[in-house]
Protein backbone atom coordinates (compact mmCIF):
# COMPACT_ATOMS: atom_id res chain seq x y z
CA UNK A 1 0.00 0.00 0.00
CA UNK A 2 2.78 2.40 0.91
CA UNK A 3 4.72 1.71 -2.29
CA UNK A 4 1.55 2.26 -4.34
CA UNK A 5 1.04 5.56 -2.52
CA UNK A 6 4.66 6.58 -3.14
CA UNK A 7 4.20 5.87 -6.88
CA UNK A 8 0.96 7.87 -6.99
CA UNK A 9 2.57 10.78 -5.10
CA UNK A 10 5.52 10.90 -7.49
CA UNK A 11 8.03 10.27 -4.69
CA UNK A 12 9.05 7.03 -6.38
CA UNK A 13 9.54 6.41 -10.09
CA UNK A 14 8.86 3.31 -12.19
CA UNK A 15 12.40 2.02 -11.56
CA UNK A 16 11.77 2.04 -7.82
CA UNK A 17 13.99 5.04 -7.14
CA UNK A 18 12.75 6.78 -4.00
CA UNK A 19 13.12 10.57 -4.22
CA UNK A 20 13.39 12.00 -0.71
CA UNK A 21 13.75 15.76 -0.62
CA UNK A 22 14.82 16.01 3.02
CA UNK A 23 18.13 14.22 2.49
CA UNK A 24 17.10 11.23 4.59
CA UNK A 25 17.69 7.68 3.41
CA UNK A 26 14.25 6.41 4.48
CA UNK A 27 10.61 7.44 4.28
CA UNK A 28 8.69 7.55 7.57
CA UNK A 29 4.94 7.30 6.94
CA UNK A 30 4.16 7.94 10.61
CA UNK A 31 6.66 9.87 12.73
CA UNK A 32 5.05 8.63 15.96
CA UNK A 33 6.04 5.07 15.08
CA UNK A 34 9.56 4.10 14.09
CA UNK A 35 8.43 2.39 10.88
CA UNK A 36 10.26 3.36 7.73
CA UNK A 37 10.71 2.33 4.13
CA UNK A 38 14.09 2.65 2.48
CA UNK A 39 15.58 1.96 -0.94
CA UNK A 40 16.67 -1.55 0.07
CA UNK A 41 13.09 -2.39 1.16
CA UNK A 42 11.80 -1.26 -2.21
CA UNK A 43 14.40 -3.37 -4.05
CA UNK A 44 13.38 -6.44 -2.02
CA UNK A 45 9.74 -5.81 -2.91
CA UNK A 46 10.73 -5.46 -6.57
CA UNK A 47 12.42 -8.86 -6.52
CA UNK A 48 9.35 -10.51 -4.99
CA UNK A 49 6.85 -8.75 -7.24
CA UNK A 50 9.00 -9.45 -10.30
CA UNK A 51 9.05 -13.16 -9.50
CA UNK A 52 5.31 -13.35 -8.83
CA UNK A 53 4.30 -11.29 -11.87
CA UNK A 54 6.72 -13.17 -14.14
CA UNK A 55 5.41 -16.45 -12.73
CA UNK A 56 1.87 -15.49 -13.72
CA UNK A 57 2.98 -14.61 -17.25
CA UNK A 58 5.12 -17.72 -17.71
CA UNK A 59 2.52 -20.14 -16.32
CA UNK A 60 -0.11 -18.66 -18.62
CA UNK A 61 2.26 -19.05 -21.60
CA UNK A 62 2.94 -22.65 -20.61
CA UNK A 63 -0.80 -23.34 -20.30
CA UNK A 64 -1.45 -21.71 -23.69
CA UNK A 65 -3.75 -19.01 -22.35
CA UNK A 66 -3.60 -15.23 -22.18
CA UNK A 67 -3.45 -13.59 -18.75
CA UNK A 68 -6.64 -11.71 -19.67
CA UNK A 69 -8.52 -15.02 -19.92
CA UNK A 70 -8.23 -15.64 -16.17
CA UNK A 71 -11.63 -14.90 -14.67
CA UNK A 72 -11.03 -15.28 -10.91
CA UNK A 73 -8.06 -14.87 -8.61
CA UNK A 74 -8.01 -16.19 -5.04
CA UNK A 75 -5.25 -14.85 -2.80
CA UNK A 76 -4.52 -17.12 0.16
CA UNK A 77 -2.38 -17.32 3.27
CA UNK A 78 -1.01 -14.56 5.44
CA UNK A 79 0.29 -12.60 2.49
CA UNK A 80 -2.78 -13.00 0.32
CA UNK A 81 -5.27 -12.31 3.08
CA UNK A 82 -3.93 -8.87 3.92
CA UNK A 83 -2.86 -7.47 0.58
CA UNK A 84 -5.11 -4.88 -1.03
CA UNK A 85 -5.79 -5.94 -4.61
CA UNK A 86 -5.82 -2.39 -5.99
CA UNK A 87 -2.39 -1.68 -4.50
CA UNK A 88 -1.04 -5.01 -5.80
CA UNK A 89 -2.29 -4.09 -9.27
CA UNK A 90 -0.96 -0.54 -9.09
CA UNK A 91 2.58 -1.72 -8.30
CA UNK A 92 2.46 -4.47 -10.93
CA UNK A 93 2.43 -7.42 -8.54
CA UNK A 94 -0.79 -8.49 -10.26
CA UNK A 95 -1.69 -7.62 -13.86
CA UNK A 96 -4.11 -4.72 -14.46
CA UNK A 97 -6.55 -7.13 -16.13
CA UNK A 98 -7.14 -8.72 -12.70
CA UNK A 99 -9.05 -5.62 -11.57
CA UNK A 100 -12.36 -6.74 -10.09
CA UNK A 101 -11.39 -10.43 -10.26
CA UNK A 102 -9.48 -10.76 -6.97
CA UNK A 103 -10.84 -12.18 -3.72
CA UNK A 104 -9.13 -13.33 -0.54
CA UNK A 105 -9.40 -16.97 0.44
CA UNK A 106 -8.03 -16.78 3.98
CA UNK A 107 -5.99 -19.52 5.61
CA UNK A 108 -6.50 -22.25 3.00
CA UNK A 109 -3.78 -24.50 4.46
CA UNK A 110 -5.56 -24.73 7.78
CA UNK A 111 -8.95 -25.20 6.12
CA UNK A 112 -7.54 -27.99 3.95
CA UNK A 113 -5.89 -29.72 6.90
CA UNK A 114 -9.16 -29.64 8.83
CA UNK A 115 -11.01 -31.12 5.86
CA UNK A 116 -8.49 -33.94 5.52
CA UNK A 117 -8.72 -34.96 9.18
CA UNK A 118 -12.51 -34.78 9.18
CA UNK A 119 -13.36 -36.43 5.86
CA UNK A 120 -11.80 -39.44 4.16
CA UNK A 121 -13.13 -38.23 0.80
CA UNK A 122 -10.86 -35.18 1.15
CA UNK A 123 -7.84 -37.48 1.52
CA UNK A 124 -8.72 -39.12 -1.82
CA UNK A 125 -9.01 -35.67 -3.43
CA UNK A 126 -5.59 -34.69 -2.06
CA UNK A 127 -4.01 -37.88 -3.41
CA UNK A 128 -5.54 -37.21 -6.84
CA UNK A 129 -4.22 -33.65 -6.82
CA UNK A 130 -0.69 -34.83 -6.00
CA UNK A 131 -0.81 -37.24 -8.95
CA UNK A 132 -2.18 -34.61 -11.35
CA UNK A 133 0.06 -31.71 -10.25
CA UNK A 134 3.07 -30.75 -12.35
CA UNK A 135 6.18 -29.05 -11.00
CA UNK A 136 7.33 -26.14 -13.16
CA UNK A 137 10.81 -24.70 -12.59
CA UNK A 138 10.07 -21.17 -13.76
CA UNK A 139 13.71 -20.08 -13.66
CA UNK A 140 14.50 -22.81 -16.21
CA UNK A 141 11.71 -21.70 -18.58
CA UNK A 142 12.88 -20.02 -21.80
CA UNK A 143 12.49 -16.26 -21.51
CA UNK A 144 11.89 -16.20 -17.76
CA UNK A 145 14.85 -13.94 -16.97
CA UNK A 146 13.77 -11.22 -19.42
CA UNK A 147 10.12 -11.38 -18.25
CA UNK A 148 11.32 -11.25 -14.63
CA UNK A 149 13.50 -8.19 -15.30
CA UNK A 150 10.62 -6.41 -17.04
CA UNK A 151 8.22 -7.27 -14.21
CA UNK A 152 10.54 -5.70 -11.64
CA UNK A 153 9.65 -2.24 -12.95
CA UNK A 154 6.64 -0.47 -11.52
CA UNK A 155 3.87 0.36 -14.03
CA UNK A 156 3.90 3.92 -15.34
CA UNK A 157 0.10 4.14 -15.33
CA UNK A 158 -2.21 3.53 -12.39
CA UNK A 159 -5.37 1.46 -12.36
CA UNK A 160 -6.84 2.87 -9.16
CA UNK A 161 -7.15 6.35 -7.76
CA UNK A 162 -5.87 6.69 -4.21
CA UNK A 163 -7.32 9.33 -1.86
For the stretch 50-87, pLDDT in tens is 999 999 999 999 999 999 999 999 999 887 888 899 99
Asked if residue 40 lies in contact with residue 70, where contact means CB atoms within 8 angstroms, the answer is no
> What's the sign of the alpha-carbon dihedral 6, 9, 13, 19?
negative
pTM to 2 decimal places:
0.84
Asked if residue 12 lies in contact with residue 6, where contact means CB atoms within 8 angstroms, the answer is yes
Amino acid sequence: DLVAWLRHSGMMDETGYLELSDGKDAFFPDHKMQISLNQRDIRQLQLAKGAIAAGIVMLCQRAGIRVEEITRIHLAGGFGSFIRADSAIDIGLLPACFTGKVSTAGNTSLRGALQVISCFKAIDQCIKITHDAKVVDLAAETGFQSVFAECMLFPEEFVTVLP
